[in-house]
Amino acid sequence: MAEKQRIFRVLIVDDHPMMRRGFGDCLIDTGRFLIAGEAESLEAGRFMMEHLKTPPDLIILDISLGDENGLDFIKIVKDLCAARNITAPPVLICSVFEDPFRVQAAMQLGARGYVSKSAGEPELLRAIDRALTGERYIDEKFEVPLQKNEGLYDLFTRREREILMLVKQDYDNRRIAALCGITSRTVENHLSHIYYKTGLKNREQLRGL
C-alpha cells in the first residue's frame, strides 16, 4: 500500500490579496499543501500565530507590508514559538525587491530562503521544498552581488540603496515611488544624490554598478 503523502500547512503573510490568492491557488493545486491562514500585516500575522492550534509548517512572507517591515515578523514568530516551547517554522521570503541588502538582512534574521515574486512556479516550489527540508535557498542572482561594490554601497542611505536596486531592475520612477511609498519627485531627489555620489550620469550606468 502506497504511503500517504504528507500535507504541509502554510501561512501566507502579504498585504496584497491577489498575491495571497495566487500563492494559495498555486500551492493547493499541487495537492501537497493547505493554507493554514492568511495575514496582511504584522498584527494580523501575530494573531494567526497565536490562535492556530498548531503552528504552520512554513511561512511565506513579504517584506513590504504597507508601511511595515515584514522582516520584523521573523522575530515575532521566534518569540511566540519560544514562549510555547515549540520549534519555529521556516520562513521563506517572497518579495518584489531583488537587492542583495534585503537578501542579506533576511538571512541574517533567520529566514530560510529568499525568492523573487518574479520567479516562476517551479522556482517557488523548489524554494519551498528546500525550506521544508531545512536547507537554505537563495537564487543565484542574489548570491553574487552580496559582496559586489560593498564599499561603494556604504556611501548610500538605506533609501538610496533601495532606489538604486530598483533602478537596476529597470523600474521607472513612477513604479519605484509606488513600491517605496514616496512621490516621484522624492525618487528624483534621491537619484540626484546617487548620481552625485557615484559620478555617474544616467540610469544605464547605474544599472551597471
pLDDT at 10 over 90: yes
Task: Look at residue 12 in the predicted model and tell me its pLDDT.
Answer: 97
* pLDDT greater at residue 14 or residue 204: 14
At 83, the pLDDT band (50, 70, 90 cuts) reads very high
In the chain, what are the domains?
Answer: 8-144 (3.40.50.2300), 149-207 (1.10.10.10)
Task: Look at residue 112 in the predicted model and tell me its pLDDT.
Answer: 95
Q: Residues 152-203: pLDDT tens digits?
A: 666 778 788 888 888 888 889 998 888 888 899 999 999 998 887 777 888 8
Average pLDDT over residues 4-27: 92
Q: Residues 133-150: pLDDT tens digits?
A: 999 998 776 654 444 555
Q: Residues 22-74: pLDDT tens digits?
A: 999 999 999 999 999 999 999 999 999 999 989 999 999 998 888 788 989 99
Task: Look at residue 31 in the predicted model and tell me its pLDDT.
Answer: 94
CA-CA distance, 98 to 41, in Å (whole number)? 21
Place of cell 527540508: 133
The DSSP annotation for 78-132 comes to HHHHHHTT-PPPPEEEEES---HHHHHHHHHHT-SEEEETTS-HHHHHHHHHHHH
Q: Residues 115-130: pLDDT tens digits?
A: 988 888 999 999 999 9
- CA-wise closest residue to 162 among 114, 96, 115: 96
